[in-house]
């Protein structure tokens, strides 16, 4: 009898009080993933987050705790800080996002990210918000989602520039 022992790795990320298990793209704006999970052979799973300026300039990409700056990112002063069990990304001294490591396979994220067209996405424990380039809030479908678990989808939360939202889509 040939018996194999299989180990299954799962990813678990909490954002805006909602938990995403085995979800590839946690937060997507139009066709742009803003927070996604990537796999590295040596290190397992980690997050990947593009950093845009309010004018849409692509400044950097954060992969896990590594920051990869573009030339524009160097000019804008994008930095990472590493308090205990955290990675904090700042643009000109203002926090863009925080990733907290609760245990080896669990991450808790709070983000204030610009999308490529200047829309501002805020995802914190108090909720998910979308602001246009003028700073006016856009209603996201009238949805209140708190403490939910989304599992096994390609995209966890997809929002668009018209204020539509999709939860759990492939």
- What residues pair up with 121 in beta bridges, in sequence order? 113, 130
163/170 Cα distance (integer angstroms): 19
Which of 29 and 10 is assigned the larger pLDDT? Answer: 29
- What residues pair up with 18 in beta bridges, in sequence order? 15
pLDDT one-digit tens code per residue, 20-76: 899 999 889 899 998 888 876 665 777 788 888 888 888 888 887 777 888 998 888
- What residues pair up with 80 in beta bridges, in sequence order? 89
pLDDT one-digit tens code per residue, 71-109: 998 888 888 888 887 788 888 788 877 777 765 555 666
- Residue 60's CB: how many other CB atoms inside 10 A? 23
Beta pairing, strands 106-114 & 12-15: parallel
* Sheet strands side by side (includes 66-69): 66-69, 58-63, 44-52, 32-40, 25-29, 155-159, 165-169
- Is the pLDDT reported for residue 8 higher than 60? no
133/159 Cα distance (integer angstroms): 16
Beta pairing, strands 25-29 & 155-159: parallel
- Burial code (b: 16+ CB inside 10 Å, e: under 16) for 114-139 equals bbbebbbbbbbeeebbbbeeeeeebe
What is the reported pTM?
A: 0.72
What is the predicted pLDDT for the residue at 138? 60
pLDDT one-digit tens code per residue, 119-153: 887 777 766 676 666 666 665 656 667 788 999 99
Residues 6+ apart with CB under 8 A from 66: none
Residue 124 tokens, joined = 């914190």
């Amino acid at each position: 009898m040939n018996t194999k022992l299989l180990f299954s790795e799962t990813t678990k990320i909490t954002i805006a009080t909602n938990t995403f298990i085995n979800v590839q793209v946690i937060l997507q704006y139009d066709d742009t993933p803003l927070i996604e999970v990537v796999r590295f052979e040596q290190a397992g799973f980690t997050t990947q987050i593009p950093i845009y300026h309010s004018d849409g300039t692509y400044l950097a990409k954060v992969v896990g705790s590594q920051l990869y700056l573009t030339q524009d990112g160097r000019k804008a002063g994008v930095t990472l800080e590493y308090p205990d069990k955290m990675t904090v990304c700042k643009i000109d001294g203002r926090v863009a996002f925080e990733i907290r490591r609760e245990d080896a396979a669990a991450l808790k994220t709070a983000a204030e990210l610009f999308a490529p067209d200047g829309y501002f996405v805020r995802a914190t424990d108090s909720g998910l918000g979308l602001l246009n380039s003028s700073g006016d809030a856009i209603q996201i479908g009238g949805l209140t989602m708190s403490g939910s678990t989304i599992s096994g989808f390609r995209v966890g939360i997809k929002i668009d520039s018209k204020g539509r939202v999709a939860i759990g889509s492939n």
